[in-house]
Amino acid sequence: MKTRITELFGIRHPIIQGGMHHVGYAELAAAVSNAGGLGIITALTQRTPELLAQEIRRCREMTDRPFGVNLTLLPSVNPPDYPGYVEAIVKSGVKVVETAGHNPQKWLPGFKAHGIKVIHKCTSVRHAVKAEAVGCDAVSVDGFECAGHPGEDDVPNFILLPRAADELTVPFVASGGMADGRSLVAALALGAEGINMGTRFVATREAPVHDNVKQAIVAATELDTRLVMRPLRNSERVLNNAAVERLLNTEKELGSAVRFEDIAAEVAGVYPKIMKEGALDAGAWSCGLVAGLIHDVPSVKELIDRIMAEAHGLIADRLAGFGASA
């Protein structure tokens, strides 16, 4: 399937694996790229730029196809070594970067000088328009359904995607609620040029996370996520568990007086224990509403092949049938 996204990134299928903390390692990125999508290594999961360069080398040993690196730009009193991470990306010869968080404008000239394409994650049309204006090559439009941070506008993809199509000239992909061929065809119909999947890729055999995490996603329904940190205007969609219930109770009790320090035990530094050890109640961990559409743990290739077969079938049969004369 050819779209502007497949042409831009040199991939076979318009499917991107989004950057995910303590999930986006070489194993998963290579599996996605080998299956024809665009795999993404998560930079900040690697503690240092040197470790990121090592992870990129490891990925290159597993695939000869394009893959990218996610670089999330976070506000911080003690920020990560962003110049070091950028240098590691550039020197490693990576040709695609997914940025998220703050405006990536500061880093774009360095990427552009080395022929690196940048796709920026946005949760609103205004941010997507800004990303295009500063020179991003593509945009990932994240609807309210998405795992992690959906922004504060609460606009779902059925509205957000066509609004983005109205305003953007660069290609964009749909993120949030994407799981199967129906998702892909719907995203294309609403103006996107492909899809970005996070939660769906966690529930695959190659995802380097504990099986407890995968089985929890399979067991969950679309009713089992919660939004935390809303009073802090840093909303995060997570799978409900004991830690999340404690966090929500704290937010309810303290109201507008809640501070990050009051909930830090449930959100800070919990991912290694959850993702590696399978201690699901150790803290809050990101999961999208799309959990309601996830019922198995296939290989990445099986998943992508299934999505593409279903999408082609929908386009050729069901949708074509509506255009047939009576």
Give pLDDT, residue 284. Answer: 98
The dihedral over CA atoms of 65, 101, 266, 147, expressed in degrees to the nearest 10, equals -60
With contact defined as beta carbons under 8 Å apart, do 235 and 275 qualify?
Answer: no
Q: Which of 46, 58, 30 is nearest to 204 (CA)?
A: 30
Give pLDDT, residue 74. Answer: 87
* Strands, E assignment, the chain: 15-17, 39-42, 67-73, 96-101, 117-122, 138-142, 172-175, 195-197, 225-228, 236-239
Give pLDDT, residue 325. Answer: 60
What Cα–Cα distance (Å) separates residue 207 from each residue in 203, 214, 307?
Answer: 7, 9, 18
Residue for token pair 């679309």: 222
Domain spanning 4-208+297-322, CATH architecture: Alpha-Beta Barrel (3.20)
Distance, C-alpha 123 to centroid of its chain: 12
d(CA 125, CA 123) in angstroms, rounded, equals 7
d(CA 167, CA 165) in angstroms, rounded, equals 6
Sign of torsion over alpha carbons 243, 22, 152, 162: negative
Q: Which part of the chain has CATH 3.20.20.70?
A: 4-208+297-322
pLDDT digits (tens, 9 = 90+) for 151-178: 999 999 999 999 999 999 999 999 999 9
Q: Which amino acid is at 166?
A: D
Low-confidence ranges of the chain (pLDDT < 50): none
How long, in residues, is the chain?
Answer: 326
Sign of torsion over alpha carbons 222, 226, 232, 236: negative
At residue 196, the 3 state secondary structure works out as strand
Terminal-residue alpha carbon distance, the chain: 29
Bridge-based pairing of strands 225-228 and 236-239 is antiparallel
pLDDT digits (tens, 9 = 90+) for 35-90: 999 999 999 999 999 999 999 999 999 999 999 999 999 877 788 999 999 999 99
Kindly state the tokens that stand for 299.
């290989």
DSSP character for 38?
Answer: B
